[in-house]
Structure 1
Amino acid sequence: MNKSTFPQGLLLINEPRYLKEEDLFQVTYGDDKYVLDLGWYGTEYAILIIESLDWSNSLWERRSKQLSDLFQLMSEAATYIRKIFN
C-alpha cells in the first residue's frame, strides 16, 4: 500500500465500485476556496486543483490513462496544496 500525507481538508471519496465514474475523490480546503479533485473522464484520470469553484481554469492539472500513475500525481498535488497554505 502506498501512503501519502495530505494537508488537512474535508475528504470525500466515492466507493471503489465507482472507479470508472467521473467523481472519485475530492478534498476541499479553506472553506471550499480550494478543491483537489480526482476524476475519471472516459479514457483517462484527471487530478485538478481548483480555486473558487472555477472549474474552467484549474490552478494545477495532471492527466493519466494509467491507474498506477495516480499515487505519484496525487503526491504532487498534495505538495502543491501545501505550498498554497505555507
Structure 2
Amino acid sequence: MIYNWGKERNYVKITNMGTKSSFRGQKLAHKLFETMINEMKEEGMRDFRGETRVTNYPMQKVFNDFDFKNVETLEGYYDNPTEDALRYHLSI
C-alpha cells in the first residue's frame, strides 16, 4: 500500500505477509520483496517501512537481506500474544 499520512511524503508500508509452511524455504518472501521494491521504484517510491514481531526471525532476515534498517523497538505493539515489534525502514 502507498501511504500519505499527514504531511509525510508517500511511502510504501509492508503490512502483513506470511508463507504457508509447505512453501517455506523457497525464498518466496525475498521474491515478493524484490518485485515490490522494483515496481514501486518504477512508480517513484523510495521509502519503504514495515514492522515485525521480535520473535519473527525469518522476517527480520528478509528485512536485513534487503538492507532495511531496524530503527525502533515498539513495546507491546502486538496482541495475542502481547509482544514487542521491530520497526524497519529503507530509503533508496
Q: TM-score, normalised by structure 1?
A: 0.30
Larger radius of gyration: 2
Higher relative contact order (CA 8 A, sep 6+): 2
Q: TM-score, normalised by structure 2?
A: 0.29
